[in-house]
Structure formats: C-alpha cells, structure tokens
Amino acid sequence: MGSVERKERERQEMRQLILETAMELFVEQGYENVTIRKIADKIEYSPGTIYFYFKDKDDVLLALCSVAFGEFFKALKPMRDVRDPMERLRAGSRMYLRFALEHQEFYDLMFIIRAPMRRQEELRKEADEHQEKWDVFYGSFQILRDTICDCVAEGYFPPATDIDAATIAYWSFVHGLASLRIRQRLPMIPEEGLEQVVNRAIDFMVSELSIR
C-alpha cells in the first residue's frame, strides 16, 4: 500500500497548516506576538503537537523565512524589466524599500532577527540537502548581482570592478536604508520628510556611483 507516501503527505499538510497559521499571526500581530501556544490555539491542537512537526520555535521561524523570501523574490522580479541597468538599480531599490516597509515583519525575519539563522546554521552542519532551500535567498541576490554585471558591461562601472564586492556594497546600502527606517534609527529626519529623504538617498547613490 502507498500509505507511507500518504503519511508523508499528511505530515507535510500539517506542517503547512502550522506555517500558514503562524504566518497569519505574524502578519496581524507582529513578530513578538507569535507564540507556540497561540499557533496551537488557532489550529485547535495542543502546544506539544507543534513539537512533533518542528524541532523548536526557531525551526518554525526558519520555515516562515523561506516563505517570506519567496514573496520577496516576487516583489523584486519586476525590476528585471528595466533595460538600463543603472535605472534598474534605482527601480529595484525603490521596490526593495517598498517591500521592506509594507512587510516589516517579513523583513525582520529575513534580515534582522537572529532566530532563523541560528537554526539555519545547525541545518547547514548536518544536511547538505538543505542548502537548495536557500535558493530563494541566493535568487534575489542574483538579480542584484546580474544588474551590477550589466552596469560594468555597459560602462557605468569600470571593467575592473569586483562584482561580488560591488553587489554586497549596494545591497548593504539598500538594506541599511530599510533597516534604519524599520527600526526607527533616523530620528534626525522628521517622519513626514522621511520618504523623500530616502528617495533622495537612492538618487544620490545611483547618480554618484555611475561614471559620469
């Protein structure tokens, strides 16, 4: 009988149910209010059951992180339609910032909070197979890297540019903007002028980085 496959499928469905429920709590109540007990309550199981499907809370958060990266990738994809790579960089930055602000909880999970990476570190040690799951991570990184490549190809950056260094540099810039905004570390700019200053910061970067 194929009941072993069905068992596996049911197991995955239960994992899925837990994750979806956790995600709902996440979106409507924020990271700090996502609790094993609340998840259990919402799916009408007891707290202990969660631990039959996930090793611990970090494990749940890591799984949520994968989902978030999927959304992130979808939000960034449209930037590839912009022909000019420098304009693509500008457009991509805006999309990145919009996503980060509109999905702060996802952004927290993906780039700020410790928890998911703790679990990820463990998994990297014990299972090579798990690496592929992080394609969602590398995928978004690759879009940016390709853009930087094109910038070199079209003469915006010098031919000798270190692609990886430049990619990380630009990504750091955008992530810095996003995380400083989300964590309210730009108190010198009044809230109402913030969006404009952020946009001007992007414009500064784009125009000053390219060879004039």
Partner DNA sequence: CCATAAAATTGAACGTTGTTCAAAAAACGA
Partner DNA sequence: TCGTTTTTTGAACAACGTTCAATTTTATGG
Would you tell me which residues interact with a copy of itself (CB under 8 A)?
32, 111-114, 117, 120-121, 134, 137-138, 141, 157-158, 161-162, 164-166, 168-169, 171-177, 179-180, 183-189, 197-198, 200-205, 208-209, 211-212
Site membership for DNA, residue 9 (CB under 7 A): no
d(CA 17, CA 6): 16
- Residue 58 C-beta: closest distance to a copy of itself, Å: 12
Name which of a copy of itself, DNA, none residue 4 binds, using a CB cut-off of 5 to 8 Å depending on partner kind.
DNA
Query: Rounded to an integer, what distance in angstroms lies between the CA atom of residue 208 and that of residue 140?
Result: 24
Report yes or no: 63 and 15 within 8 Å, Cβ to Cβ: yes
Number of residues that bind DNA (CB under 7 A): 26
3-state secondary structure of 200: helix
Look-up: residue for tokens 């990271």? 31
CB of 22 to DNA, least distance (A): 10
Name which of residues 44 to 63 contact DNA (CB under 7 A). Answer: 44-49, 51-53, 56-58
**Would you call 113 helix, strand, or coil by DSSP?**
coil
**Given the rule CB under 7 A, which of 5-13, 83-91, 126-134, 196-204 is the region that contacts DNA?**
5-13
Shortest reach from residue 187's CB to DNA, in Å: 22
What residue ranges in 72-190 does DSSP mark as E strands? none
The answer to whether 22 and 60 have CB atoms below 8 angstroms apart is: yes
Other C-beta atoms closer than 10 Å to the C-beta of 72 total 24
Closer to DNA at the Cβ: 62 or 198?
62
Instruction: Choose the contact partner of 134 out of DNA, a copy of itself, none; CB within 5 to 8 A by kind.
Output: a copy of itself
Backbone angles phi, psi at 12, to 5 degrees: -65, -35
d(CA 62, CA 64): 5
Q: By CB under 7 A, name the binding residues for DNA.
A: 1, 3-4, 6-7, 10-11, 14, 33-38, 44-49, 51-53, 56-58
